[in-house]
Amino acid sequence: MQTIVRLCAGHDVPIISYGNGSSLEGHLLAVHGGVSIDLSEMNQIVSINAEDLTATVQPGISRKQLDEALRNSGLFFPINPGADASIGGMSATRASGTNAVRYGSMRENVLALTVVLADGRVIKTGTRARKSSAGYDLTRLFVGSEGTLGVITEITVRLYPQPEAISAAVCAFPSMGDAVRAVIETIQMGVPIARVEFVDTLAVRAINRHSNLTLREAPMLFFEFHGTESGVQEQARTVQEIVAQNKGEDFEWATRPEDRSRLWNARHSAYFAMLQLKPGCRAVTTDVCVPISRLAECVEETEKDLRGSYLPSPIVGHVGDGNFHVAMLLDPGKPEELEEAERINRRIVARAGDGRHLHGEHGIGLHKMDFLIDEHGEDAIAVMRSIKQALDPKNMMNPGKIFAFES
Amino acid sequence: MQTIVRLCAGHDVPIISYGNGSSLEGHLLAVHGGVSIDLSEMNQIVSINAEDLTATVQPGISRKQLDEALRNSGLFFPINPGADASIGGMSATRASGTNAVRYGSMRENVLALTVVLADGRVIKTGTRARKSSAGYDLTRLFVGSEGTLGVITEITVRLYPQPEAISAAVCAFPSMGDAVRAVIETIQMGVPIARVEFVDTLAVRAINRHSNLTLREAPMLFFEFHGTESGVQEQARTVQEIVAQNKGEDFEWATRPEDRSRLWNARHSAYFAMLQLKPGCRAVTTDVCVPISRLAECVEETEKDLRGSYLPSPIVGHVGDGNFHVAMLLDPGKPEELEEAERINRRIVARAGDGRHLHGEHGIGLHKMDFLIDEHGEDAIAVMRSIKQALDPKNMMNPGKIFAFES
């Protein structure tokens, strides 16, 4: 990799690292030309250290390949963005997903990286040890930098013991607000819930059709509990009480592994299921993350907006993190539909207001660049730009992404 | 603060932010002169958001002041480095402490910062929302930067619900190796232990004298369990079984809050207790963090070294994180004792080998600068230096710390 990067650097050719191509915001587009480096065959496990609960892998390994390698180890890697993304890509975009409410995102779960810098120097940003207070946190700087600071060639991630018991459940609510209030109370009680996902009526319909399920077509929460046998039972009892107080109905269990898999596969296929609601459509997705206290209001107002629009726009949300996605389904051949989607998007963004992130987990890429300034302010972007200038002055690493930058 | 920084910048006067003065590595020394800005009266709570589990505070507020403000909220802030450090200082040094095995360090628990940069610009690095994938992770860049990139003027931290039940226990072991093996098994079983601390025989003796306790003078583990009533009981049962299989003896409970406080106050006073083992002494402390699989071997070899030295050198460790401290007690008037301490330190560092951090939680400051290059390599330090160059080209922010830097 060092040789490739040096060659490119010598000829002023941009480099775009390519993992599994599952990013949503145009991260991989060669807007300034250059070489797309396909890392999918650089997919080996370097080591698994069961005692230390770490794995060191090459960047092209996919999440499911890593799962497979861990199958009989009693350990698992929790970050699950749905798509079978590469671990390198997930690091580069600071991915999260359905387990983040308990296990955090890539931010918390990457311990160390090996990175080839724009000029061909190779650095290691950390070690397998759990903690460090040794200088600037270069690991966290490269996690989420979307390929704009270097090529990630090795990643050490945290693993977790497989829980003794896992159970999942679904529950319908009269409204999104009721569902969110149930989640806030659950988190405030300190229930260590592993997953809690919101799916709106339209998204449930999409999932039912796509995955051949018969879920009630109403606002729903999907839950998962991890722990000891008795711990999981206790968590579930507490959550059932909270749900009942918030008008939840039809609490339904999925304790058998095959039922759980079916449920979560359906949830993780939601994006593709939603696309099928409108044949030939494409989705413009929002990725707002608000403090959870503002989530119910924010989503209820959004629902009102969506009812006033002719675009079918299902909502799913990592509700424990305050992060939700609206998928506005539009005909790519109709500019007025794109305009309508952008209109709704602007309203959602404006409503989120202070204290929110406009980018919970999908990153910035090409599509969200305008909003980044809005979120951070010019001075913070200037700081990011000066870091880019320091590490990649010729703008050879995934140029044209995250923020405008002139070499 | 912006005015102060601008004034200083205009006159090329360095700035050293001063919190509560509890850092251990010379972070606050004005090695290039300048203004020490005492932040201790900038200690207000800006807001506590119980629903979102966040608090926003000024940098000078101490950990105990924040605890006091949270007393009746049902929430707590878990990071506890022992000393009553300021939250600003803890952010700047990426502090951790006894709760990190479960709750993480400042790295995981700071959500957002307001920072005045070297040229007087003010930036916000994040929001109260839990997740973000919006550009470079400036929050994590400033956390652990030890005042070298700007003055932190506001911090948003995560809070946690007070556990329904807490219990603590101590247990003696024939050797450090047995104790560490018990901890590895505990973590591999997925027991969500809140604290697990190692204290060697000499450190127990120091603690007994200083805090008027009667703990058995043997290698010991201190445990704390957080959860529901039945969850804590279950955790404790599991740990007791594991401990028994690893030759642990005299498992003793502290379930009453006053007994628990006494125990943890004693543990947190260990530094001062150890200093009293040798009147008039000063301590040179090591801060090695290794993958936990290497901890038993590493500490046992260290113990052998220490037995061959005439310096009294107790050991304490955040064993769940693989992080341990040796306090080598020396007479500051005797250069040969300092030399002896440095000799032992070099052996410990050399033994830690690859895959370790030499700086688990105390930071680099002035004293550990030489070792930083050893740990990261020249190229990674060059990257840190180029970030410093980008943000503080005139080297006005806590100059002379972390790494050598010429403006």
The confidence score (pLDDT) of residue A111 equals 95
Task: Yes or no: say if B158 and B53 are a contact pair by the CB < 8 Å rule.
Answer: yes
Which of A127, A322, A380 comes nearest B130 by C-beta?
Answer: A322
Are B169 and B232 contacting, i.e. CB atoms less than 8 angstroms apart? Answer: no
What are the φ/ψ torsions at residue A134 (nearest 5 degrees)?
-105, 85
**Residues A295, B125, B400, CA angle at the centre, nearest 5°?**
155
Cβ(B39)–Cβ(B17) under 8 Å?
yes
Predicted local confidence at residue B348, as pLDDT: 85
Q: Which domains does chain B have, with CATH numbers?
A: 2-161 (3.30.465.10), 163-363 (3.40.462.10)
Amino acid in the structure at residue B227: G
Digit-coded pLDDT (tens) for B222-250? 999 999 999 999 999 999 999 999 999 98
Span B51-95, pLDDT tens digits: 899 999 999 999 999 999 999 999 999 999 888 999 999 999 999
Q: What is the pLDDT of residue A356?
A: 62
Q: Which neighbouring-strand residues pair with A325?
A: A316
Tell me the residue type at B32.
H
A120-131: per-residue pLDDT in tens?
A: 999 999 887 777
Looking from the CA of A211 toward its CB, the CA atoms found within 13 Å total 24
Which amino acid, residue A224?
E
d(CA B291, CA B252): 28
In the numeric block, the tokens 């879920």 are attached to A215
First to last CA, chain B: 23
Q: What are the CA-CA distances from residue A152 to residues A42, A93, A155, B61, B90 (Å)? A: 11, 12, 7, 39, 30
On the CB side of A195, how many CA atoms lie within 13 Å of its CA?
A: 27
- CA of A189 to nearest chain B CA: how many angstroms apart? 7
Give, to the nearest 10 degrees, the angle between helix A257-268 and helix A201-211. Answer: 120
Residue where the block lists tokens 């949830």: A267
Secondary structure letter of residue A404 according to DSSP: -
Judge whether B100 and B289 are in contact, CB under 8 Å.
Answer: no
- Residue A400 to chain B, least CA–CA distance (Å): 13
Question: Helix axis angle, A229-245 relative to A176-188, nearest 10°?
Answer: 140
Check residue A108 and give its pLDDT: 94
A386 at B interface, C-beta within 8 A: yes
A-B Cβ pairs (cutoff 8 Å, strict): 285
* CA dist., res. A369 & res. A148, Å (int): 14
Distance of alpha carbon A91 from alpha carbon A143, whole angstroms: 5
Q: Which candidate from A137, A357, A360 shows the least CB-CB separation from B144?
A: A137
Contact B386 A391 (CB under 8 A): yes
The pLDDT value recorded for residue A403 is: 85
Does A187 sit within 8 Å of B289, measured CB to CB? no
What is the rounded average pLDDT of the residues A284-313? 89
Structure tokens at B352: 């830690």
Return the pLDDT at B387: 97
Distance between CA atoms of residues B279 and B262, nearest Å: 24
Q: Using CA atoms, how far apart are residues A281 and A268, in angstroms rounded to an integer?
A: 19
Q: What is the pLDDT of residues B304-356, one digit of tens each?
A: 889 999 999 999 999 888 888 999 999 999 999 999 998 998 888 887 666 66
Tell which of A27, A47, A107, A133 to mutate to test the B interface (max B CBs under 10 Å).
A133
CA B96: distance to chain centroid?
Answer: 4
Is residue B185 within 8 angstroms of chain A, CB to CB? no
- A189-223 burial, b at 16+ Cβ within 10 Å, e below that, comes to bbbbbbbbbbbbbbbbbbbbebbeeebebbbbbbb
Q: Mean of the per-residue pLDDT values for chain B?
A: 91
Q: Encoding tokens for residue B3?
A: 């005015």
End-to-end CA distance of chain A: 23
Chain B contact for A360, CB < 8 A?
yes
Whether the CB-CB separation of B48 and B36 falls below 8 Å is answered with no
Of A345-354, B207-216, B311-320, B387-396, least confident by mean pLDDT is A345-354
Distance of CA A264 to the CA centre of its chain: 15
Pairing of strands B160-161, B195-199: unpaired
Which tokens go with A373? Answer: 């300034």
pTM: 0.93
Smallest CA–CA separation between A356 and chain B, in Å? 5
Q: What does the pLDDT look like over A234-269, one tens digit per residue?
A: 999 999 999 999 999 988 888 788 989 888 988 889
**Predicted confidence band of residue A355 (pLDDT cuts 50, 70, 90):** low
Q: How far is it, in rounded angstroms, from Cα A62 to Cα B201? A: 47
Residue B397 CB partners (closer than 8 Å, separation 6+): B14, B15, B118, B147, B148, B149, B150, B151
